[in-house]
Amino acid sequence: MGSRVAAWFVDALAQSLIVACAAVLLQAALGGSSVLDDLGKIDTGRGLAIAFYLILLFLLKWGYYALFEALMRGQSPGKRAMGIQVVRTNGEPLDFPSIAVRNLVRSVDDFPGLPLLGFLVAVTNQKAQRLGDLAASTIVVRVRRGELTPPETARLSERTAAIPVAGMAKTLTEAELGVLRKFLNERSLLPEALIGKLSARLRAQAQAKTGFEGRGLDDVAFLEAVYRAHAVAQPTQGPAEPPAARTPPEGGA
Amino acid sequence: MSLQPPPAAPAVLTKSDLFIKEHSESWKRFSSMVDKARNSPKRLSPEELREFPKLYRRTCADLARARSLGLARDLTDYLNESVARAHTLLYAPPLLDRSALSRFFLDTLPDCAIRNFPAVLLSALLFFGSYAISLFLVSRNGDLAATFVSASTLDGFTDSYREAVDGRSLGGSSFMTAFYISNNVTIAFLSFASGILAGAGSLYFLLQNGLFLGTIEGYIHYAGYGANIDAFTMAHGPLELSGLVLAGAAGLCLGFAVIRGGRYRRADALLIARDRVFPLVAAFVLCIGAAAFIEGFVSPRAIPLWIKSGIAWLSSACLFAYFIAYPLLRRLVRRKRRG
Q: Could you give the CA distance from residue A76 to residue A6 in angstroms, rounded to a whole number?
A: 12
Report yes or no: A54 at the B interface, CB cutoff 8 Å. Answer: yes
Complex ipTM: 0.76
Amino acid at B289: G
Low-confidence residues of chain A, pLDDT below 50? Answer: 32, 35, 37, 234-253
Report yes or no: A37 at the B interface, CB cutoff 8 Å. Answer: no
pLDDT number for residue B250 = 93
- Taking an 8 Å cut-off on Cβ atoms, the answer to whether A47 and B171 are in contact is yes
> pLDDT tens digits for B148-182?
888 888 888 888 787 776 666 677 778 888 888 88
Percent of chain B topping pLDDT 90: 31
Which residue in chain B has the smallest CA separation from A45?
Answer: B171
Which residues in A lie closer than 8 A to residue B33 (C-beta atoms)? none
Among B4, B13, B15, B246, pick the best mutation site for testing chain A contact (most A Cβ within 10 A). B15
pLDDT surpasses 70 at B2: no
Q: Could you give the CA distance from residue B59 to residue B61 in angstroms, rounded to a whole number?
A: 5
| Residue of A92, A148, A229 with shortest CB distance to B3 | A229
- Taking an 8 Å cut-off on Cβ atoms, the answer to whether A241 and B71 are in contact is no
pLDDT number for residue B280 = 93
- Taking an 8 Å cut-off on Cβ atoms, the answer to whether B87 and A91 are in contact is yes
Report yes or no: A195 at the B interface, CB cutoff 8 Å. Answer: no
**Rounded mean pLDDT of B204-222?**
90
Alpha-carbon gap: A234 to the closest alpha carbon of chain B (Å): 7
Q: Could you give the CA distance from residue B2 to residue A188 in angstroms, rounded to a whole number?
A: 29
Average pLDDT, chain B: 85
Question: What pairs with residue A140 in β-bridges?
Answer: A86
- The number of residues in chain A equals 253
pLDDT number for residue A250 = 46
pLDDT number for residue A244 = 45
Report yes or no: A241 at the B interface, CB cutoff 8 Å. Answer: yes
| Residue of A51, A137, A247 with shortest CB distance to B271 | A137
Q: Could you give the CA distance from residue B222 to residue B134 in angstroms, rounded to a whole number?
A: 12
Interhelix angle for A96-109 vs A117-124, to 10°? 110
Which residues in B lie closer than 8 A to residue A229 (C-beta atoms)? 2-3
Report whether B270 contacts A134 (CB < 8 A).
yes
Alpha-carbon gap: B137 to the closest alpha carbon of chain A (Å): 31
| Residue of A47, A54, A98 with shortest CB distance to B172 | A47
pLDDT number for residue B238 = 92
Q: Could you give the CA distance from residue A248 to residue A165 in angstroms, rounded to a whole number?
A: 18
pLDDT surpasses 60 at B321: yes
Q: Is A167 exposed, middle or buried (0-12, 13-18, 19+ CB in 10 A)?
A: exposed
Q: Could you give the CA distance from residue B269 to residue A135 in angstroms, rounded to a whole number?
A: 10
Q: Could you give the CA distance from residue B20 to residue B75 in angstroms, rounded to a whole number?
A: 8
> pLDDT tens digits for B117-157?
999 999 999 999 999 999 998 888 888 888 888 888 888 88
- Taking an 8 Å cut-off on Cβ atoms, the answer to whether A149 and B78 are in contact is yes
Among B3, B14, B183, B194, pick the best mutation site for testing chain A contact (most A Cβ within 10 A). B14
Alpha-carbon gap: B5 to the closest alpha carbon of chain A (Å): 8
Sign of CA dihedral A201, A204, A206, A212: positive
pLDDT number for residue B60 = 93
- Taking an 8 Å cut-off on Cβ atoms, the answer to whether B13 and A238 are in contact is yes
**Rounded mean pLDDT of B231-246?**
91
Q: What count of CB pairs under 8 Å joins A to B?
A: 230
Q: Is B54 exposed, middle or buried (0-12, 13-18, 19+ CB in 10 A)?
A: exposed
Which residues in B lie closer than 8 A to residue A41 (C-beta atoms)? 169, 172
Which residues in B lie closer than 8 A to residue A98 (C-beta atoms)? 274
pLDDT surpasses 50 at B1: no
Nearest to B70 by CA among A232, A175, A209: A175
Percent of chain B topping pLDDT 70: 91
Q: Could you give the CA distance from residue B307 to residue B295 in angstroms, rounded to a whole number?
A: 14
CA A244 to chain centre: 39
Higher pLDDT, B184 or A146: B184
Q: Which residues contact B4 (CB under 8 A, 6 or more apart)?
A: A161, A162
Which residues in B lie closer than 8 A to residue A45 (C-beta atoms)? 171
Q: Could you give the CA distance from residue A49 to residue A112 in angstroms, rounded to a whole number?
A: 29
pLDDT number for residue B4 = 55
Which residues in B lie closer than 8 A to residue A92 (C-beta atoms)? 88, 91-92
pLDDT number for residue A236 = 45
Report whether A109 contacts A61 (CB < 8 A).
no
- Within 10 A of B56 (CB to CB), how many other CB atoms are there? 20
Which residues in A lie closer than 8 A to residue B74 (C-beta atoms)? 151, 178, 182
Report yes or no: A156 at the B interface, CB cutoff 8 Å. Answer: yes
Question: What pairs with residue A139 in β-bridges?
Answer: A87
CA distances, B66 to each of A214, B50, B80, B260 (Å): 31, 25, 10, 42
Q: C-alpha angle A88/B257/B128, rounded to 5°?
A: 125
Q: Which residues contact A154 (CB under 8 A, 6 or more apart)?
A: A180, A181, A184, A185, A227, B11, B12, B14, B17
Longest Cα–Cα distance in chain B? 106
